[in-house]
């Protein structure tokens, strides 16, 4: 119903406006959970630690990397780790394909994927004007988690593009642009009703 998807869209937009806040216990709990889901056998020594670089954060404190996109980028990563652990671990540990000598940093790439999706779906506009945005609203009324699932798909697509382009770190933005273009094409398909109808949905591994 119209009311349902209005509510869901508002809830999503509210999420986008929450900055990551190191003074909020719930935000810190999510950050710890991300570590636990990423490296279950390794203890995190403290919330500010060089260990974070193993996940692909730029420095010892991930909070600085969240500034670009806010709390939602942490929620996206955590959702991915919990819902599709096999896919998440494969991308985190870069276990598939011919990897580059200078790889993209996993976590920072994740923040970039969140940001790219928000732009592509026009989530900061009052009403979407393009087909991907319009189709997304329709899918949102079918499935509340559609933004987070789409994030996982986009991350998988990005890694596939990276491998196909035989990219190195300096080409990361080109890879992201190519991913955005591919996702835009898939989200513009006429008969798109559910997230499962997206061709790239099959990339996800439970």
> pLDDT tens, 97-132?
888 788 999 999 999 999 999 999 999 998 899 999
User: What is the full DSSP assignment across 57-104?
Assistant: -SSS-THHHHTTT-HHHHHHHHHHHHH-HHHHHHHHHT-SS---SSPP
> pLDDT tens, 62-91?
999 998 899 999 999 999 999 999 999 999
> pLDDT tens, 23-58?
999 999 999 999 999 999 999 999 999 999 999 999
Cβ–Cβ < 8 Å for 101, 168: yes
Domain spans in the chain, listed from the N-terminal domain onward: 2-203
């Amino acid at each position: 119903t119209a009311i349902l998807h209005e509510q869901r869209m508002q809830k999503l937009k509210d999420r986008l406006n929450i900055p990551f806040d190191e003074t909020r216990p719930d935000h810190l709990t999510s950050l710890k959970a991300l570590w636990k889901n990423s490296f279950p056998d390794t203890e995190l020594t403290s919330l500010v630690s060089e260990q974070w670089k193993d996940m692909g954060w730029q420095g010892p404190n991930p909070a600085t990397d969240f500034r670009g996109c806010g709390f939602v980028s942490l929620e996206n990563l955590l959702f991915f780790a919990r819902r599709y652990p096999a896919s998440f671990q494969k991308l985190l540990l870069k276990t598939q394909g011919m990897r580059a000598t200078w790889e993209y940093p996993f976590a920072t790439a994740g923040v970039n994927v969140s940001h790219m999706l928000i732009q592509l779906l026009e989530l900061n506009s009052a009403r979407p004007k393009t087909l991907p945005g319009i189709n997304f609203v329709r899918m949102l009324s079918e499935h509340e988690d559609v933004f987070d699932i789409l994030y996982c798909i986009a991350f998988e697509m990005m890694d596939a593009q990276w491998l196909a382009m035989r990219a190195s770190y300096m080409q990361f933005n080109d890879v992201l642009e190519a991913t955005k273009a591919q996702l835009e094409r898939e989200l513009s398909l006429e008969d798109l009703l559910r997230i499962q109808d997206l061709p790239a949905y099959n990339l996800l591994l439970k």
